[in-house]
Amino acid sequence: MEKVKILWADDEIELLKPHIMFLEEKGYDVATVNNGMDALDTVKDSRFDIVFLDENMPGYTGLEILAKIKEILPSLPVIMITKSEEEHIMEGAIGSKISDYLIKPVNPNQILLSIKKNLDKKRLQSETATSKYQQEFRQIGMTLSDRLDWDEWVELYKKLVYWELELDQSNDPSMNEILLMQKNDANNLFCKYIESNYVDWLSGSSDAPIMSHNLIKKGIFDRDFQCDFLIVIDNLRYDQWRIMRPIINEYFRIEDENLYCSILPTATQYARNSLFAGLLPSDIQKLHSEYWVNENEDAPKNNFESELLGTNLKRLGRNVRYNYEKITNIDNGKKLVDQFQNLLNFDFNAIVYNFVDMLSHARTDMRVVRELADDEAAYRSLTKSWFEHSPLLDLFKKIAESGKSVFVTTDHGTVHVDNPVKVVGDRETSTNLRYKQGRNLQFDASDVFAPDRPEDVYLPKINVSSKYIFSKNNDFFAYPNNYNHYVKYYRNTFQHGGISMEEMLIPYIHLSAR
C-alpha cells in the first residue's frame, strides 16, 4: 500500500524533528517546509494526503496560506496548528474549512489522532459500526422472540433504523445483507402483530397506540405543547426523518420524537383524510359525506382536508383562526416562503408538503429517478439532497426566525417491494399495489390481511360484497394477466398501502425554535 504523504509547514520545523521521526516510524512519508509560500508551491508541485500548517509564520500567515491552498485543492485536509487561542483565529480557520485545529505544544499522539480522524475516519467508523452491529445482532434476535407490545415495536424499529444508517457508511456489504434479513424477519412478525391487534385497536382497546384519526388530539392538543405550525410531509418514513433531523436541528430543539401508527390502508386517501378529520374513514363518510370520495369515483380524493380539519378543531373545542396550505410543486413552495408573514396572522397553520410522496411515485414512473434511488440508502440520500435545497427547509428557517413552534409528521410511509403476490379482481377493483378494494377478490389467504368486513376496520363499504385486502412486508399485488411484464415493472419500487414497519410506524415530532 502506498504511504500516506504529509506536508508539515512551520517556521520552527527543526524543533519538530522528534514528531516527524515518530510519524515516519509509524509508516508515514513526511515532507517539511519552513514558510507559507514554500508550502503553497509544494502542494502545487506534489501530491499530499494531508497538510499540517502553522498559523504564525513570517510573511503570509497560516490563515492566508490556508485560503490559497483551499482555492486550488478544496478537498485536501489541512490541520491548523497555533500557539494562539484567540477566538477570531479559530473562527477564521473554521470558516476556511480546516479539518482540525491543534493548540501548541502538541504531542505526537495528538498528531497521530488527527491524521487517523481525517484520513482513516470512514474506515474506522465502518469497522466500528460493523463490530457493534455484530454484537447487537443476537440481542435483536432475542427481542424478536418475545411477544412485543406497541412501545417495544417502536423501540425495535428505531434500533433497526439506527443500524441501517450506521451501516450505510460501511464497506462491508455482507453486514447490510444480514441486517436486511433481520429486518425482513422483524417485518414478518410485525405483520402478524398488526393482524392480531388492529381490529381491537379501532374498537377502543386500552392498549391502542396513537393512530391517524387521533393524532391531532392526542399528539398535539392533549399535551402541554404550543403548536403554531402543523407540517405534514406526505409519505415520510422514519429513516428519512432521521436523515433530515441534523439539518432541522440547526434551527430547532427537538422537544419530543416518537412514532404513531398509520391506519390501513396506508394511503393518502385514507390516512391523511383521517388525520385531518380526527375520524376513521367510514365515520368521515357517514358524518361528512360531502367531503368523502369513494375509490370507484373519478374525482380527487383529498380535496377537502381544510374543511375536515375545521370540523375536527370545532369538535375538539379549539376556537382558533386556522389556515391550510397544500404544496405540490417547487413554485408553490417558494410562493409560500415569500408570503410567510401572512401565515403569522393565524393561530394555527396546517401545511401539507407533497414532495416525498411525489418522489416515491416518480421512482416508479421515471427511469432517471429509479436509477438515482435503486435501494434504501440511495432513497434516503436523494431525500436529504432534495431537502437541503428545498423551499421546505426555507420554510423551517422562517418559522425558527419567528420563534414559532412546529409539529412535524406524516400520513404514512413507504416500503421497498420485491415479492409479487397474485390477486384476481373485476374491473372495479382498486389499482393500488399494496391494498385492494373490490368484489369477488380471489387470493391466497396466507399472503394477505383480509378483515372479514369493511366495517370491522372502519372502511367505507361501497356495495354489499365489498372487501379490502392488504399486502404484507415487501409483497405487492400483481394480476395474472400479463404477469411477467407487470412484475418486472413494479419490482424494486417503493409503494404504500399495506402493512409493514416502514408504512405504519411513522414519525411525529415536536420542535421549538432555538
pLDDT tens readout for residues 214-271: 999 999 999 877 899 999 999 999 999 999 999 999 999 999 999 999 999 999 999 9
DSSP 145: T
- Predicted confidence at residue 321, as pLDDT, reads 95
- Bridge partners of 352, per DSSP, are 232, 326
Distance CA(13)–CA(19), nearest Å, equals 10
What pLDDT does residue 171 have? 66
3-class state of residue 257 by DSSP: strand
Does the 5-119 domain belong in CATH 3.40.1190.20? no
| Separation between Cα atoms, residue 20 and residue 12, nearest integer Å | 13
Q: What are phi and psi of 149, to 5 degrees?
A: -95, 180
Three-state secondary structure call for residue 223: coil
In sequence order, which residues have a C-beta less than 8 Å from that of residue 339 and are 6 or more positions away?
A: none
Within its chain, how far is the Cα of 120 from the centroid? 27
Query: Is 349:230 a contact under the CB 8 Å cutoff?
Result: yes
Q: Three-state DSSP class for 322? A: strand
Q: Which pLDDT score, from 0 to 100, does residue 288 have?
A: 96
What are the φ/ψ torsions at residue 349 (nearest 5 degrees)? Answer: -110, 125
Q: 252-261 and 505-513: which strand pairing?
A: antiparallel
d(CA 50, CA 314) in angstroms, rounded, equals: 63
Closest CA to 498 of 396, 376, 413, 383: 413
- Distance, in Å, from the CA atom of 298 to the CA atom of 33, rounded to the nearest integer, reads 75
**Which three cell numbers mark 122?**
470512514
For CA atoms 327, 331, 335, 340, give the dihedral sign: positive
pLDDT of residue 91: 58
Q: What is the DSSP letter of 290?
A: G
- The 10 Å Cβ neighbour count of residue 251 is 17
Question: Does the N-terminal peptide bond of residue 105 adopt cis geometry, omega within 30 degrees of 0?
Answer: yes
Cβ contacts of 465 within 8 Å, gap of 6 or more: 439, 440
Q: Domain residues of the chain, as ranges? A: 5-119, 123-201, 210-413+503-513, 416-495
Judged on CB neighbours under 10 Å (0-12, 13-18, 19+), 488 is exposed
Residue-wise pLDDT tens digits, 443-472: 999 999 999 999 999 999 988 889 999 999
pLDDT of residue 226: 83
User: Which of 138, 180, 183 lies closest to 157 in space, CA to CA?
Assistant: 183
Residues of the chain with pLDDT below 50 are 93
Distance CA 356, CA 51 (A): 41
